[in-house]
Amino acid sequence: MSVRVRRIYDPPEPDDGVRVLVDRLWPRGVAKDAAHVDEWPKGLTPSAELRRWYHAGEGSFEEFAERYEAELAAPEAAELVDHVRKLAREGDVTLVTASKSPDKGHASVLLRLLDRA
């Protein structure tokens, strides 16, 4: 079993497993049937305040990651993280995002958190 991150604009692959959209808003220009998204847990996404802070360039990626992990420790978000962990124990999971740089965004922080357990 594995968890990986891919851009939602890339075509789905047979080994994606369960595709989990980890963005709060539906990506522009992507038809829902073409995206092949199996789950969309909006509670896993960073808060609007944290997103605005990070995209305004006010802090480093490391500080963003710390703040986002703190948000993911809240009960509702932690429950969703556990759910994705359960999916990963049962098979492959692909976290999909519209981010232009998934390696410097919230999906990579979530992936790192999921890999710890």
Q: Where are the domains of the chain?
A: 3-116
On the question of pLDDT at 86 being above 90, the answer is yes
* Prediction pTM value: 0.92
Assign 117 a pLDDT band (cuts: 50, 70, 90).
low
pLDDT of residue 67: 96
On the question of pLDDT at 31 being above 80, the answer is yes
Question: Which residues 6+ apart lie within 8 Å of 97 measured at CB?
Answer: 5, 6, 7, 8, 21, 22, 23, 105, 106, 107
